[in-house]
Structure 1
Amino acid sequence: MALLDDVKSELAAIDNELPAAKKAQSAAMIRFGGGLHIIQRHIVVEAQFDSLPAAQWLQNTIKDVYGHDSDLIQVNRQTPAGNVIRYSVRVLRAGGALALQTGLLDRRKHPVRGLPADIVSGNIAQVKAAWRGAFLAHGELSDPGKASYLEIVCPGSEAALALVGAARRLGINAKARQVRSSERVTLRDPDVIERMLNLMGAPKSSREWTGKRSDGESRGKANRLANFDDANMRRSAKAAVEASAKVTKAFQILGEDIPENLRAAGQLRLDHRDASLEELGRLADPPVTKDAIAGRIRRLLQLAAKVEKQQAEGLNTTQDQKD
């Protein structure tokens, strides 16, 4: 959450945009942050944010660009996760005028359900600003090291489609989807997310997010390798225990009638039950390869199995003769 706050603070600190871009950003912030309401036959403009710098940016822009006063109100809301603080920017008296100025009301004074046409078809600076405003209003960003996503919760399908079209003009493929009855526009590719953060105007946060994501991926890879190594060690240990039990049984079957090289290999297995075949090969006198030690142990077990089978057949023959 701290990184998301940093992204929004960095975006809200941008103050070198031309008026057209500021208008595009403020219109998107109002559209995605709340919108227009009718109270006692008067249009009220209200937008809520989880970022105080974002709310302050909109309040200042409404005053400097459009010439209207607004109220900034802190709203405390209880949720199952605890107390949530939101910041509401509200324009009461001049709500209708501001709605017309931002393009959120068309010339027939009908509400615009997506984004104003002059923003969607405007220059690239306006398109970037619209995405910046939408993100400031209702954007989410995954924590580094987790499944990557950048997502904006939209007030409706028209707004989602407008945002997807704006992303396409920036050369980015965004997906509109419905999640729990809410419309969302989502980016999932880490490289695309990094690019969008830069396009919106948050290069510092983009580098931080990318760096932490890379660190998280490195740790994840290291953990997977460690788990893989642990699994291999467990398998090797289990195989060594099973091999030791088979060698013990082979010694019991063969007794003293064992070739010396096979006996030595089997004894190494019993004396060093946790050692790998490679380690047993180094312990042999003279040292041999792991393939050689494995071959000798295998021939020892085959010899014991052959003798055991002959003994069983001889026992059966004797029993048949008695019968």
Structure 2
Amino acid sequence: MALLDDVKSELAAFEGDSPAAIKAQAATMIRFGGGLHRVQNAYVIRSIYTSLEAAEWLRDTLRNVFGHEAEIKHQTRQTQNGPVETYIVLVTRNVVALALQTGLVDRRKQQVHGLPAEVVNGSIAQIKAAWRGAFMARGMLSEPGKASFLDIACPSEEAAMALCGMARRLGFQAKHRTTRTSERVTLKDPDAIERMLKSMGASRSVREWTGKRSDGETRGKANRLANFDDANMRRSAKAAAEASEKVQRAFEILGDNIPENLRQAGQLRIDHVDKSLEELGKIAEPQITKDAIAGRIRRLLQLAEKTEKARAAEGK
């Protein structure tokens, strides 16, 4: 989780956006973090984040850009994997006015099921900011060395479809999938993930993710090659042992009636079970090729088989 925290911290520190992009990011963070809630006869905005920097970015933006005060509440909850720290951004005053400003409710004061139209149809800078906000709120990133994915849990099917549509505008093919517990939007191609992280503004973190991923792929390739070589060695050793047993059986059947060149090849196979055919050819006197010694052993076994069949026919 350390790399994921680093990415969200870097995104929270991103600067240089236009006011429209900042508003798009804030609206998306609120929508994906929890959004608008009705409590008795009033509304509150209650959005939950696992990154303190993300929560602080939203609180400060609501104050400085929208003119609304928000507070951050810290909670710790126990899970099977240990304690999880969460940070709740809470707005309790002038909530409907803020929801109108961010586009989370329309002019009829109906909640937007996906994302505000001005965000989805906004500029490229707004699209990038919206993806940044969604990731800061509910994004996950694979650890280097494992199967690559960038995943965002979405509050609704409409929000997931909006996120996919905005990804297409940025040149990405994000996949929308429905799980038992949530709607999710996922990127799995490593190159696409790198480009998306850069588009969102995590240039420093993406270099770390890319470097560690490359190291992991190199180690994985080395391990696969080592396993492949080990498997080949086991297969070769097994084949050599089986060939040695067959040669011994051929010697028993043929007795002294074996051509000298076939006998020499067979004896080498019996005496050097751990050596390859190429190595047997090199220690033969005179030296012969791998194909030559393989051919002699094959003819020896064929001769033994032919002799055994002939004896069986005579005994009938």
TM-score normalised by L of structure 1: 0.94
Runs of at least 4 residues off by over 4 Å? none
1:146 corresponding residue in structure 2: 146
2:88 corresponding residue in structure 1: 88
* Helix, strand or coil at the partner of 1:89: strand
Aligned residue type for 2:215:
D
2:170 equivalent to 1:175: no
1:234 corresponding residue in structure 2: 234
Alignment of 1:25-40 (within 5 A): 25-40=25-40
1:274 corresponding residue in structure 2: 274
1:321 corresponding residue in structure 2: none
Separation in structure 2 between the aligned mates of residue 313 and residue 159 of structure 1, nearest angstrom? 82
Shift of 1:311: 2.4
Shift of 1:154: 0.6
Shift of 1:303: 1.5
* Helix, strand or coil at the partner of 1:152: strand
2:13 corresponding residue in structure 1: 13
1:164 corresponding residue in structure 2: 164
Separation in structure 2 between the aligned mates of residue 315 and residue 157 of structure 1, nearest angstrom? 82
Shift of 1:309: 2.1
Aligned residue type for 1:300:
L
Shift of 1:146: 1.9
2:120 corresponding residue in structure 1: 120
2:67 corresponding residue in structure 1: 67
Compare 35-44 and 84-93 and name the one that shifted more.
35-44
2:4 corresponding residue in structure 1: 4
Q: Is the 8 A contact 1:128 1:199 kept in 2?
A: yes
* Helix, strand or coil at the partner of 2:216: helix
* Helix, strand or coil at the partner of 2:27: helix
Separation in structure 2 between the aligned mates of residue 314 and residue 122 of structure 1, nearest angstrom? 94
* Helix, strand or coil at the partner of 2:7: helix
Q: Is the 8 A contact 1:42 1:96 kept in 2?
A: no
* Helix, strand or coil at the partner of 2:264: helix
* Helix, strand or coil at the partner of 2:288: coil
Shift of 1:214: 2.1
Shift of 1:310: 2.4
1:295 corresponding residue in structure 2: 295
Question: What is the aligned length?
Answer: 316
Separation in structure 1 between the aligned mates of residue 258 and residue 304 of structure 2, nearest angstrom? 9
1:225 corresponding residue in structure 2: 225
Separation in structure 2 between the aligned mates of residue 251 and residue 307 of structure 1, nearest angstrom? 11
1:100 corresponding residue in structure 2: 100
Shift of 1:145: 2.2
Shift of 1:181: 3.6
Shift of 1:94: 2.7
2:61 equivalent to 1:44: no
Separation in structure 2 between the aligned mates of residue 112 and residue 303 of structure 1, nearest angstrom? 86
Separation in structure 2 between the aligned mates of residue 112 and residue 63 of structure 1, nearest angstrom? 23
2:243 equivalent to 1:243: yes
Separation in structure 2 between the aligned mates of residue 266 and residue 206 of structure 1, nearest angstrom? 61
Aligned residue type for 2:254:
L
Shift of 1:129: 0.2
Separation in structure 2 between the aligned mates of residue 306 and residue 161 of structure 1, nearest angstrom? 73
Q: What stretches of structure 1 of length at least 5 have no aligned partner?
A: 317-323
Compare 46-55 and 12-21 and name the one that shifted more.
12-21
Separation in structure 1 between the aligned mates of residue 311 and residue 89 of structure 2, nearest angstrom? 94
Compare 76-85 and 58-67 and name the one that shifted more.
76-85
Q: Is the 8 A contact 1:149 1:193 kept in 2?
A: yes
Compare 183-192 and 127-136 and name the one that shifted more.
183-192
Aligned residue type for 2:133:
G
After superposition, give the CA deviation of every residue in 1:142-185 in whole Å (9 maximum; x if it has no partner): 12222221111111011111111111111111121101141111
Separation in structure 2 between the aligned mates of residue 38 and residue 45 of structure 1, nearest angstrom? 9
TM-score normalised by L of structure 2: 0.96
2:54 corresponding residue in structure 1: 54
2:223 equivalent to 1:184: no
1:312 corresponding residue in structure 2: 312
Percent identity between the aligned chains? Answer: 67
Aligned residue type for 2:312:
A
Q: Is the 8 A contact 1:250 1:300 kept in 2?
A: yes
After superposition, give the CA deviation of every residue in 1:229-287 in whole Å (9 maximum; x if it has no partner): 12211111111111111111111222222211111111111110111111101111111
Aligned residue type for 2:143:
D
After superposition, give the CA deviation of every residue in 1:33-53 in whole Å (9 maximum; x if it has no partner): 010112242221111101111
2:257 equivalent to 1:257: yes
Aligned residue type for 1:41:
N
